[in-house]
Amino acid sequence: MSEPGPGTGDGAVIRVLIADDHPVVRDGLEGMLCQEPDLDVVAQADGGRVAVSLTLRHDPDVVLMDLRMPAGDGLEAIRTLRAAHPRRPRILVLTTYDTDRDVRAALNAGADGYLLKDVGREDLIRAIRDLAAGRPVLTGQALAALTGRGSETELTVREAEVLALVAEGRTNRAVAHRLGIGEATVKTHLAHVYEKLRVADRASAVRTAWERGLV
């Protein structure tokens, strides 16, 4: 359950702003999201500068932000919005760029989540709801980019996969089903993640994967 606040309370509508330089992408996302009773697209922006202006005007709960747009860079827009308010709106990068540098730059700028545009409909909708509720969202590729090489906190591929699914809000049973492993194995992987990242719970593990020398 989300914390009280505009667009995140029980039964409340989550207000979304879409920033992408391709009209077909924007319209497609809006048409998809508006089929959900708890999601409402309040504005579209074709670049970072317009995204900042419309965000400050409409105060959405979640912004879907592309990274590279001719009418204003997405990274600069994220930095500007975070300078105005460190926690609102939740910003989900939705892009085709999946390099380590892109992931790290977006999260350093203040993004709350990172997904690629080939994400499935249900996964995107779940990600928006998770972000509105205060839960970070990362793809497996993004988490893998954050673990790095040669670090004391380096996660194995399987540990990164488990943590990515946990970041999506999945239960241990759901993670086990998705990966084709047992729940006990999931718990073992999470225990190793907690030990490596020196945390005690799921939420802290996801946040620390961003912050501890990995970003």
* Position 151 confidence tier, pLDDT thresholds 50, 70, 90: very low
Domain spans in the chain, listed from the N-terminal domain onward: 14-138, 148-211
Model confidence at 1, pLDDT cuts 50, 70, 90, reads: very low
Alpha carbons 23 and 172: distance in angstroms, whole number: 39
For residues 78 and 72, what is the distance between their CA atoms, to the nearest angstrom? 11
* pLDDT for position 211: 66
Give the whole-angstrom CA distance, residue 106 versus residue 115.
Answer: 11
Confidence of residue 153 (pLDDT cuts 50, 70, 90): low
Q: Predicted confidence band at 144 (pLDDT cuts at 50, 70, 90)?
A: low
Q: What is the per-residue pLDDT across 114-131, written as a single tens digit (0 to 9) for each?
A: 988 888 899 899 999 989
Class of domain 148-211: mainly alpha
| Residue found under tokens 């990172």 | 114
Q: Is the pLDDT of residue 212 over 90?
A: no
80 pLDDT higher than 90: yes
Contact 147, 155 (CB under 8 A): yes
pLDDT at 29: 97
In CATH terms, the fold of domain 14-138 is Rossmann fold (3.40.50)
Instruction: Give the per-residue pLDDT at 149.
Output: 45
Query: What does the pLDDT look like over 94-114, one tens digit per residue?
Result: 998 877 778 888 888 999 889
